[in-house]
Amino acid sequence: MNKNPTWKYLVLLLIVAFGVIYATPNLYQAEPGVQVIGLRNAVVDTNTLERAKRVLETAGVEVKQITLENGKIRARLTSEEAQNTARDVLREKLDDSFAVAATDLPTTPGWLESLGGAPMYLGLDLRGGVHFLMQVDMVAAEKKANDNYYEDIRKLLREEGIRYTGINRQENGAIFLRFKTEELQEQANAAVTTANPELVATTREDNGSFTMQLQLTESAISEIKKAALKKNMLALRNRIDQLGVSEPVIQQQGLDRIVVQLPGVKDPSVAKEILGKTATLQVHLVDEDNTASTVTGRVPSGSKRFYYRDGRPILLQKRILFSGDNIIDASVSIDENGGPAVSITLDSKGANVNSDVTGDNIGNRMAVVYVETLGETKIDSKGNARLVTKEIREVITAPVIRDQLGKRFIINGLDGQNEAKDLSLLLRAGSLAAPVFIIEERTVGPSLGADNIEKGFTSVLYGFLLVLLFMIVFYRVFGLVASFALVLNLVIIVAVLSLLQATLTLPGVAGMVLTVGMAVDANVLIFERIREEIQAGAAPQMSIHRGYDNAFSTIIDANLTTLIAALVLFNFGTGPIQGFAITLSIGIATSMVTAIFVSRILINLFYGGRRLDSLSI
């Protein structure tokens, strides 16, 4: 009785092999390194590799290995100082089109890697870094779209020669038009809806005047929101690449949120500054005909009063010639007086407009307006929070056009070198389609991350040893078997986490600790059953057999219910908490295998198939 068939040993062997192979990569410590990737259209090739090699050699950095793979250069270095030096010299010597990031490279041996082995993926609370949850201001995205339609429709009706007696924007974003005759109303309806099928027109006759209300369809609005989110994610990705972060995570969450995780970033303020900025540029012509009314007085309908940074007013034509969206490249430079400047390259559309307008307006002035949306959450008297956005429009420069311009030009009048740097970065990376606000931040410094790993490891170890001791004292030989099962359980949890590359967080480590405590429950259930059978007078072999049999359904019931709680936790939790749910769920599943299946094989191996007078339990 209680003998193992050979296949059980094979399965056990497979389980152990699986656990050991996939847990092993965690024993190899990551080594410091740097990584170079290409931005925008820049390609990292063998030339770049040679350049990087030379740069590192000149700087006297000892390089263990440097490779070019999947368009990334990765250099393995000997120390953290070497890592810092390497990053700094590469950033300085390679041009703006490459991003250099310090990164820790795994040292998993090739044979393990070829089996898909990799160390566990550590969450930010363990490796250090910045986590932001950003809310995209969809109200602003919708408003921006409506603003564009307003301008487009005015332009369209003007071009088609359809006269209207009034046009205005309504609270809900709809555009409201008034016509003299039904015929004009019909013409406008046809023209507008043909050009913009995503608009729905509602026409009406009202006391002799004919009105038309234009509204975006639900699906168009949802498309606009989707597009805004997508564009924002792209802009954020570009900005992050510029910052030089290795392995950033940029993920959509829900319909209007973006999760940004920047491992290894030590100073969250820089990241916050750059990621949240909605700064862009708009270029207008100066209204030279009405200079008299610049300071006070009536502003003519095609113009608008703007202000310089120092508060001086200036009258600009409303029409935007081109904006940040037309800029394809920007870099820091200096103007003829040695002041900070940004050199701009326009796309073809922007370049055409620029060349036409400047050609026609030599001697007039062209103004560059800096536009930034600032968002703040305000709490009203009832304690409710709401988003308040404020748009800042400042004229940074308004030079006289001396020549016809084209694709390239320079903007000066900036407030120092740092502003030139930030502005050029933002223009390069592309603007946000709608403002974003950080609604959650969790930053863990590198020292705290290391501390957390150590503390997590210590508590797993101590908890583990205490439970082993406890089991051996209470159940002797059976306790030893349970201990082996527990060790194997922990190895398998680590192996599964490594294989799935699920994020291990500090609460995840807590989940492991808890699993260690609860995993022995299955063994306790079985062993207590065996004891009961012995007390009832059953023979030892029979007791083992019945003990395992009787406890089985209880173990399944008990573990499945815990799994329900863990799954709910996974669905509702955020980042770190999900980490807890993951390790708990994996732990529950693996503990059933080790505590029932593996322990039975060992008990059978030890006691099976012979006459027994008593059991060491």
Partner 1 sequence: MQLFKKLTVINFIGLRKLALIFSIALLAASTYSLSTQGLNYGIDFSGGTKLELAYQQDVSVLDMRATLASSGYPEAVVQHFGSNKDVLIRIPLSPENSDAKVSDDVVKILAASEVGPGAVRSVEFVGPTFGKELFEKGILALVYALIGVMIYVAFRFEWKFSLGSVVALIHDVVITVGLFSILQLEFTLPVLAALLAVIGYSLNDTIVVFDRIRENFRKLRETDTEDTMNVSINQTLPRTILTSLTTLLVLVALFFYGGDALSGFAATLIIGVLIGTYSSIFVASPTVLMLGATAEDLLVEVVEKEGVDQPEHPYTP
Number of residues that bind partner 1 (CB under 8 A): 89
Residues 215-274 that bind partner 1 (CB under 8 A): 266-269, 272
Give the Å distances, CA to CA, from 565 to 59, 84, 507, 570, 593: 56, 45, 16, 9, 20
Between strands 31-38 and 327-334, the pairing is unpaired
Beta bridge partners of 36: 73, 100
In the complex, least distance from residue 591 CB atom to partner 1, rounded to whole angstroms: 12
444 belongs to the binding site for partner 1 (CB under 8 A):
yes
Rounded Cα distance, 231 and 108, in Å: 37
Q: In this chain, which stretch among 59-67, 356-364, 420-428, 550-558 interacts with partner 1, using CB under 8 A?
A: 550-558
Pick from 506, 592, 602, 615: which binds partner 1 (CB under 8 A)? 506
Rounded Cα distance, 264 and 101, in Å: 10
Give the phi and the psi of residue 509 in degrees, each rounded to 5: -65, -40
50 belongs to the binding site for partner 1 (CB under 8 A):
no
**Per the structure block, which two tokens stand in for 169?**
């924007």
Handedness of CA 596, 597, 602, 608 (dihedral sign): positive
**Per the structure block, which two tokens stand in for 535?**
């007390």
Residues 554-573 that bind partner 1 (CB under 8 A): 554, 557-569, 571-573
Give whichever of 43 and 568 is closer to partner 1, judged by the CB atom: 568
CA 124 to chain centroid, in Å, comes to 12
Residues 411-440 that bind partner 1 (CB under 8 A): 437-440
DSSP-assigned letters across all residues of 175-196: EEEEESSHHHHHHHHHHHHHH-
**Per the structure block, which two tokens stand in for 156?**
């369209």
Give whichever of 189 and 543 is closer to partner 1, judged by the CB atom: 543
Residues 348-387 that bind partner 1 (CB under 8 A): 375-379, 385
**For residue 215, which of 187, 176, 248, 174 has the smallest C-alpha distance?**
174
Q: In this chain, which stretch among 34-42, 187-195, 214-222, 574-582 interacts with partner 1, using CB under 8 A?
A: 574-582
**Per the structure block, which two tokens stand in for 602?**
């060992």
Residues 111-140 that bind partner 1 (CB under 8 A): 125, 132-133, 135
Q: In this chain, which stretch among 57-65, 361-369, 406-414, 579-587 interacts with partner 1, using CB under 8 A?
A: 579-587
In the complex, least distance from residue 555 CB atom to partner 1, rounded to whole angstroms: 9
In the complex, least distance from residue 475 CB atom to partner 1, rounded to whole angstroms: 8
Q: In this chain, which stretch among 82-90, 309-317, 577-585, 604-612 interacts with partner 1, using CB under 8 A?
A: 577-585
**For residue 78, which of 54, 101, 112, 107 has the smallest C-alpha distance?**
107
97 belongs to the binding site for partner 1 (CB under 8 A):
no
464 belongs to the binding site for partner 1 (CB under 8 A):
yes
22 belongs to the binding site for partner 1 (CB under 8 A):
no
Say which residue the tokens 């002797």 belong to: 476
In the complex, least distance from residue 138 CB atom to partner 1, rounded to whole angstroms: 14
**For residue 121, which of 254, 247, 272, 9 has the smallest C-alpha distance?**
247
Give whichever of 72 and 531 is closer to partner 1, judged by the CB atom: 531
Cβ(369)–Cβ(393) below 8 Å: yes
Residues 521-540 that bind partner 1 (CB under 8 A): 521, 524-525, 528, 531-532, 535-538
CA 328 to chain centroid, in Å, comes to 24
In b/e form, how buried is each residue of 461-479, taking b as 16+ CB within 10 angstroms?
eebbeebbeebbeebeebb
Give whichever of 296 and 535 is closer to partner 1, judged by the CB atom: 535
Pick from 83, 317, 443, 503: which binds partner 1 (CB under 8 A)? 443
Pick from 458, 500, 609, 610: which binds partner 1 (CB under 8 A)? 458
In the complex, least distance from residue 492 CB atom to partner 1, rounded to whole angstroms: 18
Note the helical H segments in 94-217: 110-114, 124-127, 138-160, 182-195
Query: What is the SS3 assignment for 278?
Result: coil
590 belongs to the binding site for partner 1 (CB under 8 A):
no
Residues recorded for the chain? 617
In the complex, least distance from residue 121 CB atom to partner 1, rounded to whole angstroms: 19
455 belongs to the binding site for partner 1 (CB under 8 A):
yes
Give whichever of 177 and 569 is closer to partner 1, judged by the CB atom: 569
In the complex, least distance from residue 39 CB atom to partner 1, rounded to whole angstroms: 26
Q: In this chain, which stretch among 8-16, 21-29, 183-191, 548-556 interacts with partner 1, using CB under 8 A?
A: 548-556
In the complex, least distance from residue 484 CB atom to partner 1, rounded to whole angstroms: 16
**Per the structure block, which two tokens stand in for 268?**
């969250």
In the complex, least distance from residue 439 CB atom to partner 1, rounded to whole angstroms: 4
Angle at which helix 6-23 crosses helix 599-607, to 10 degrees, equals 130
Give whichever of 253 and 348 is closer to partner 1, judged by the CB atom: 253
